[in-house]
Amino acid sequence: MKLRLRLPTDGSVDLDQLRIALEAQLQKNRQPVVEEPEVAEPVIVQPEPQPQPKVATEPSAAWAWVKARPFFLTAIAAALLSFTMGIVLIAREATKSGTPPGTVGWLFVLGLLALITSFVFVIKRERKTPQTQTTSISNWVKQHKKIVIGTGLGVATLVVLGLWIAAFTQSGGTDPKPKEIAKGTTPPKVITPTPPITPKPPVTPPQPSEPTGESVTTFKPADGFTGRLMVVFSIGCALGLGGLQMRRVEDSFFPTPEAKQAAAKTGYIDFWHGFRHFLAAQGGFVLVAVATGAVVLMWDTASIYQFDNANGRVFYTPGPVFSWTLAGMGLAGLGVMMLGAAGVNLMPTLDRKVQPTIAGSAVMRFALRKIWHIILMGLIFGAVISVSLVEPIRFWWNLWLKWSLGIGMVVACCWNGAKLISKEKEIKPLPRTRPGQFRELQFFNLPLLTTITLLATGGVMLLGQFHWLQLWWVTPMIGLGITLALAALQTVPRLLRHWMEILFFPGIVALICDWLVWPNSPNHPFWIVLGILSGLFALGICLTEGKKTESGWLLVIPPSRRQFQPVLNPDKSGLQVRWGSLLIIMAVTLLLVASAAKWAWSGLPESEPTVKAPTSTS
């Protein structure tokens, strides 16, 4: 409330008293404020839905009977094994390949024995259990007469068909004719002496210019096609069923997308991020060790192959070694400069210190800083090429690895006062085990596993001299081994963090035993001692209780920067595809299918053609 008052200026009015009088007048004229009552909104109470009783589904009586008898499942598996191996044996007999049954025959016999043994246990336990209306076999048979009769007729038909095929394939051309069988007499066999066969001189094949009048090649499979096809079909079915089973297991492990993303945070491997960190932290140590092993390998090869050509020995002179080493340095320098232009600082612990006054341009200073990288990579390239010209790689790759793990790690440890590896301080230790990693690896890292498996398969086939047609069965086995190894490293993470501690001291002890204790032993004592000691060191690291912090030459990989994304990821905006991973998986699949089809059609080619000597009969 605003008031406008005129007050005399002579000071006859006291302002304080005037203010008090005005406030008293205001309090007298003020009326109490009546608050309006609040109207409460009506609350609508909805009746809570009553929980509906779940309809209890009764399990199948047949499935309950099978679950109560585990030997029955064993009998079914044995029957399937015997049936498959029997089909393969019949196919071999039908193609008249002439190969002995071998493993297929033994699997067929073992399947039959397992089938009989399992059924004996089933019948024995059935006789011991009380015969009630729900567990009696006779009652079940009476209720399902059609199923039993149909199954029996099907099995009998298959047996008769197999016997008929076997009898048809074993029938030869020397059997009596139908007319002679009707007469009841068979003509006697007359044995006529045959003159000895003299070997004919080899016939030279006609030249392409000469018309032969007949086609040489025919489009038909090689002998034993049916048997090889059944083997490929059986293994393909096993792999397909395994893939479907993995899909079902994945759905049971991760029922929702949120659960899958939560598991991917620990199961997904950001390989390139971790690999670049490994090269930056410990790559220089590995490069020095491998280069030292290559130099020792060249010296060892030169001591074996002397500089003479007596008895057909191969020359091993230092000239080609020097030439290939210079070529390797040129390639290494080009690669290092390209990586530097792309922003990749390769192995900074191996860099050479260069003052700005030595070279004016930044490119020249970078090349001088990376001079050790160029020299060591050139030595490795020269050693590999020069030794490969003397012996194939399958004969000396283990020696290169041996010198790298023995002498190479010692030289790398002494290089520049052991500054090749940055020592970590006060790092939180890893747990002993991560049980969930073992089952999550294959679900989130399929492209990575496929790539590593393909590279490892190429190396194994090169070193083991496998034909490329065997790729279809070698690749799954190597893939299984790599998956188990990576799952073990993920489950026990201390093995990867302390890998240098596991290999360093056992490598030195194994080299001493190989040189001094058993210098001429043919049983490869280096690998035996290294395997035993490394296994003991790894076991000790896994069983040791972790402290609050740990320090040393540790491989500490930083956390992943990228999130897991499946190869095919449908979302609201459409189908998101990782084209690189999809192309890798499709290429490997097509390669395996092509090798399996080629092997089933033509088999493995003979390395050396065998010529049968002519036999003379008298």
Which three-class secondary structure state does DSSP give residue 327? helix
Q: Taking 80 as the threshold, does the pLDDT of residue 277 lie above it?
A: yes
Strand partners, 550: 427
pLDDT at position 308 is 47
- Report d(CA 582, CA 110) in Å as an integer: 41
* Per-residue pLDDT at 201: 55
Nearest to 483 by CA among 534, 438, 539, 538: 438
Average pLDDT over residues 130-154: 62
User: Residue 615 has what pLDDT?
Assistant: 42
**94-130 pLDDT tens trace:** 555 544 556 667 677 777 777 787 777 777 766 666 5
pLDDT score, position 376: 92
Most confident of 177-181, 212-216, 251-255: 251-255
Per mean pLDDT, which of 2-16, 161-175, 236-250, 463-477 is the most reliable?
463-477
Q: In this model, does residue 386 exceed pLDDT 90?
A: no
Least confident of 163-177, 303-317, 468-482, 501-515: 163-177
Q: What are phi and psi of 613, to 5 degrees?
A: -75, 145
- Whether the predicted pLDDT of 218 surpasses 70: no
Residue 311: pLDDT over 70: no
Determine which of 85-99, 384-398, 487-501 has the lowest per-residue pLDDT on average. Answer: 85-99
Lowest mean pLDDT among 77-81, 142-146, 359-363: 142-146
* Between residues 81 and 299, the one the model is more confident about: 299
Residue 158's pLDDT is 66
Helix (H) or strand (E) holding 557: none
Distance CA 448, CA 439 (A): 16
Range ranked top by mean pLDDT from 103-117, 303-317, 484-498? 484-498
Highest mean pLDDT: which of 183-192, 229-238, 507-516?
507-516
DSSP 400: H
**In contact, 556 and 424? CB cutoff 8 Å:** yes
The 3-class SS string of 301-367 reads HHHHCCCCCHHHCCCCCHHHHHHHHHHHHHHHHHHHHHHHHCCCCCCHHHCCCCCCCCCCCHHHHHH
**Across 337-364, average pLDDT:** 80
Higher pLDDT: 474 or 44? It is 474
Question: Distance between alpha carbon 16 and the CA centroid of its chain, in Å?
Answer: 97
Which of 162-166, 234-238, 360-364, 410-414 is most confident?
A: 410-414
The residue-averaged pLDDT of 156-182 equals 51
| Closest by CA position to 458, among listed 583, 585, 588 | 588
Please write the tens of the pLDDT for every residue from 450-462: 899 999 998 888 8
Predicted confidence band of residue 30 (pLDDT cuts 50, 70, 90): low
Tens digits of residue pLDDT in 505-543: 999 999 888 888 777 777 678 888 999 999 999 888 888
Q: Which of 144-158, 221-235, 262-276 has the highest mean pLDDT?
A: 262-276
Q: Mean pLDDT: which of 56-60, 260-264, 287-291 is highest?
A: 287-291
Q: Where are the domains of the chain?
A: 269-420
State the Cα–Cα distance between residues 89 and 189, nearest whole angstrom. Answer: 33
Distance CA(556)–CA(498), nearest Å, equals 9
Residue 437: band (very low, low, confident or very high) from pLDDT cuts 50, 70, 90: confident
Q: Which residue has the higher pLDDT, 93 or 4?
A: 4
- How many Å apart are CA 524 and CA 480, to the nearest integer? 27
Residue 611 has a pLDDT of 40
* pLDDT at residue 289 is higher than 90: yes
Residue 613 has what pLDDT?
41
Q: What is the mean pLDDT of the chain?
A: 75
- Tell me which range, 47-51, 438-442, 446-450, is most confidently predicted by mean pLDDT: 446-450
| Helix intervals (H) in 544-576 | none
Q: What is the pLDDT of residues 355-364, one digit of tens each?
A: 766 666 788 8
Q: Tell me: pLDDT of 168 over 80.
A: no
- In this predicted model, which residue has the larger pLDDT, 11 or 78? 78
Q: How far apart are CA 320 and CA 522, in angstroms?
A: 31
Identify the residue with better confidence: 579 or 215: 579
Distance CA 232, CA 206 (A): 38
Lowest mean pLDDT among 43-57, 107-121, 235-249: 43-57
The yes-or-no verdict on residue 393 having pLDDT over 70 is yes
What confidence tier does 171 reach under pLDDT thresholds 50, 70, 90? Answer: very low
Question: Are 424 and 552 a contacting pair, CB within 8 Å?
Answer: yes
